[in-house]
Amino acid sequence: MRPELHHDALFYGSAGDFVDSLLPFVRDGLERDEHVMVVTSPNNLGIIGDALGTDTEYATAHSAEWYSKPAQTIDRYRRVMEHALSSGKPGLRIVGEVDFGTTDIEHAEWKRYESVLNVAFGGQPAWVVCPYNTRNLAPELVESASRSHPSAFHGKEHSKSHHFVEPANMVGPLPLPTGGQLLGELEVGESLQPVREFVTRTSQQAGLSKPSTEDMCLVVNEIATNGMRHGLPPVKLQAWLDDENLVYDVSDFGPGPQNPFAGFIPPKVSEGDGMGLWLSRLLADRLEITSGDEGTSIRASMSTSSG
Partner 1 sequence: MRSTGLTTDLRQLGESDHCCWAFKDEDEFSSRAISFLRIGIERGLQGVYVSDNPTEIAEAHLRRDEAASRLLDQGALSVWSVTDTYANGTPEPDDQVDFYARATAKSLSVGYSGLRIAADATALITTPERAAAFARYEHLVDRFMTTSPFSAMCGYRSDSEANEEAVTQIAALHPVAIGAAPPLRLYAMEEGAFGLEGEIDFWSAGLLESTLRRADPAEQQKQVVLDLSGIEFMDHHGVKALVDYADSRGAQFLMTKPPSHVSRLIDILGVRNLTVAVS
Binding mask 25-64 for partner 1 (x = CB under 8 A): ----------------------------------------
Considering only residues 207 to 246 of the shown chain, the ones binding partner 1 according to CB under 8 A are 210-211, 214-215, 217-218, 221-222, 225, 228-229
The answer to the question of residue 87 lying near partner 1 (CB under 8 A) is no
Q: How many other C-beta atoms are found inside a 10 Å radius of the C-beta of residue 61? A: 17
Question: In the bound complex, what is the minimum distance in angstroms from residue 219's beta carbon to partner 1?
Answer: 10
Cα–Cα distance, 250 to 242 (Å, whole number): 17
The answer to the question of residue 70 lying near partner 1 (CB under 8 A) is no
Question: In the bound complex, what is the minimum distance in angstroms from residue 217's beta carbon to partner 1?
Answer: 7
Considering only residues 110 to 149 of the shown chain, the ones binding partner 1 according to CB under 8 A are none
The answer to the question of residue 79 lying near partner 1 (CB under 8 A) is yes
Question: In the bound complex, what is the minimum distance in angstroms from residue 196's beta carbon to partner 1?
Answer: 6
Q: How many other C-beta atoms are found inside a 10 Å radius of the C-beta of residue 51? A: 14
Phi, psi of 77 (to 5 degrees): -60, -40
Give whichever of 271 and 293 is closer to partner 1, judged by the CB atom: 271
Give whichever of 68 and 178 is closer to partner 1, judged by the CB atom: 68
Sheet containing strand 35-40, strands side by side:
59-62, 35-40, 92-96, 126-133, 6-12, 151-153, 158-160
Residue 3: exposure state from Cβ atoms within 10 A (0-12, 13-18, ≥19): exposed
The answer to the question of residue 273 lying near partner 1 (CB under 8 A) is no
The answer to the question of residue 282 lying near partner 1 (CB under 8 A) is yes
Hey, which bits of the chain come out as E strands? Answer: 6-12, 35-40, 59-62, 92-96, 126-133, 151-153, 158-160, 181-188, 235-241, 245-252, 286-292, 295-303
Give whichever of 75 and 109 is closer to partner 1, judged by the CB atom: 75
Q: Which stretch binds partner 1 (CB under 8 A): 8-16, 98-106, 138-146, 264-272?
A: 264-272
Cα–Cα distance, 303 to 307 (Å, whole number): 9
Cα–Cα distance, 235 to 231 (Å, whole number): 7
Give the binding site for partner 1 (CB under 8 A). 75, 79, 190-193, 196, 210-211, 214-215, 217-218, 221-222, 225, 228-229, 269-270, 272, 275-276, 279, 282-283
